[in-house]
Amino acid sequence: MFREYLRSKLEENNVQTSIGINAMDGIAKMKNLTPDLIIMDAHLGRQGFMEVLRQKKTGPNTANIPVFIMAQRMAQRQILEIAAYNVKKVFTKPVKIDGLFTALSEILGVQFSIDESPGIVEVHVNDNIIFIEIAQGLNRDKMDLLGFKIMELIELYEIRLPKVIIMLSDITLSYADGPNLEKLFEIITKSSKAKQRNIRVLTRDDFTRQFIDGKLEYSEIEVVSNLQYAIDGLLTELNPKTGTSDLKAELITDKILTADKTAENEALGLKFHTDSDRVFMENMKESLKNMRIAAIDDDFIIQELIKNTFRDTGAAIQTFSNGQDFIAAVDRETFDLAFLDLMMPGSDGFEVLKALQVRDIKFPIIVLSAITQKDTIIRAYQLGIKSFLVKPIKPKDIFKKSMEILKTNF
């Protein structure tokens, strides 16, 4: 998905683009085409990006080709090492779109048109419903990315009957925003293939409501101001017997419709898409290699479940039986992801979240809890939780939720 997004943006600006689906394919095309620039991910599987760089350096026609590298994380030592291969930029994921295209302009001499208007876009999946959160504005480039993100989440979660809730917060729109709203709905319906009757728009903006109500082509899209109503309706259509917890409605309404106006723009995540489960798992394992993951839970079985889920990925799993030990650990080392139980003896999950907030330490946290009370989950979200899984859980659920959060290119 990431490759296709880049190709579409480059070709829109008349830049001829060739795709290498892996390191060996990239080496062959590099030698045959002698490109003006190579954009490469640092996680390329068995024959990795270093082999591409070595092959490039040995060729008289390829040695001077500039390279952009994108990596989840790269040590300063490795950055210095690859500089000898004419690597001009190393972009740490999530990559800022404007920074990427500024660098592309400098190398290629092409002026790219980038929408620099405010806009935050996040996409998550819960109960097979695609939640699209948009705040501060309708940024057109982030809407383009949104389409790719929706497609990769549908693939990841194997969603057969897409249901979509679009949550607009911290947004006051006017007539001038009409074309952007049309673009938003076009991208969502095309990428999700959701029927309009399965789309809800949660907003308190009068113009948005009037705009949708006034368009015959949006006649089946329902505008709501209460998320509980939206979720109830969608889950009932999925399965009339499905009960819906009002905690999700309340916590997301509270989180989205009272958004902090000073929040920093956040990048939209993309992950690499593959056509088979085997290749998918291999690529995911490569991406998780060298990741540092913490499991904070007083239940030994949960600790072992998490360790076994990531055993063959190369990720380093560190377990903690209480919050106090984990808080001590984050003062001396870093983590890329944490699984956190809310209810533990001693320092519980809430104290951990508060401690991280005080220290201004930010990394993705997935709550693992059997608790489903509304107030408890709301407290967790207010302290920075991005996602949660309710016990009992399966390794497949852990892995997919981790991929949703960690596989972020933008």
Give the tens place of pLDDT for each residue, 11-30.
Answer: 999 999 999 988 899 999 99
Please write the tens of the pLDDT for every residue from 58-93.
999 999 999 999 887 787 888 899 999 999 999 987
Residues 340 and 375 in one domain: yes
Could you tell me if residue 278 is inside a domain? Answer: no
Residues 193 and 246 in one domain: yes
The answer on pLDDT for 248 being more than 70 is no
pLDDT at 319: 96
User: Could you say which of 86, 108, 130 is where a domain stops?
Assistant: 108
Report the candidate in 140, 145, 141, 188 with the shortest Cα–Cα distance to residue 167: 188
Q: Which of 52-56, 75-79, 200-204, 286-290 has the lowest mean pLDDT?
A: 286-290
Residues 98 and 142 in one domain: no
DSSP code, position 331: T
Residues 242 and 165 in one domain: yes
Residues 129 and 245 in one domain: yes
Q: Which of 195-209, 220-234, 277-291 has the lowest mean pLDDT?
A: 277-291
pLDDT at 396: 84
Please write the tens of the pLDDT for every residue from 98-131.
889 999 999 999 999 888 898 888 888 876 789 8
The answer on pLDDT for 272 being more than 50 is no
Cβ neighbours, 10 Å, residue 109: 8
pLDDT band at 164 (very low <50, low <70, confident <90, very high): very high
pLDDT at 375: 53
The answer on pLDDT for 261 being more than 90 is no
The average pLDDT across 237-256 equals 45
The average pLDDT across 361-368 equals 84
Give the CATH number for residue 97: 3.40.50.2300
The answer to whether the CB of 291 falls within 8 A of the CB of 281 is: no
Residue scoring higher pLDDT (12 or 286): 12
d(CA 402, CA 387): 10
Residues 93 and 199 in one domain: no
Residues 365 and 297 in one domain: yes
pLDDT at 97: 81
Residues 244 and 194 in one domain: yes
Report the candidate in 191, 363, 202 with the shortest Cα–Cα distance to residue 293: 363
Residue with tokens 């990431």: 2
d(CA 269, CA 142): 10
Could you tell me if residue 264 is inside a domain? Answer: no
Report the candidate in 338, 326, 309 with the shortest Cα–Cα distance to residue 397: 309
Could you tell me if residue 56 is inside a domain? Answer: yes
d(CA 17, CA 37): 10
Residues 148 and 250 in one domain: yes
Q: Which of 199-213, 271-285, 328-342, 379-393 has the lowest mean pLDDT?
A: 271-285
Structure tokens at 200: 């809800």
pLDDT, averaged across the chain:
82
Q: List the domain range (segments joined by +) for residue 190.
A: 120-257
Could you tell me if residue 114 is inside a domain? Answer: no
Give the CATH number for residue 236: 3.30.750.24
The answer on pLDDT for 94 being more than 80 is no
Which residues contact residue 330 at a Cβ distance below 8 angstroms, ignoring those fewer than 6 apart?
355, 356, 359, 361
The average pLDDT across 388-403 equals 82
Q: Which helix (H) or strand (E) holds 91?
A: strand 87-92
Could you tell me if residue 266 is inside a domain? Answer: no
Residues 152 and 101 in one domain: no
Number of domains in the chain: 3
The answer to whether the CB of 36 falls within 8 A of the CB of 52 is: no
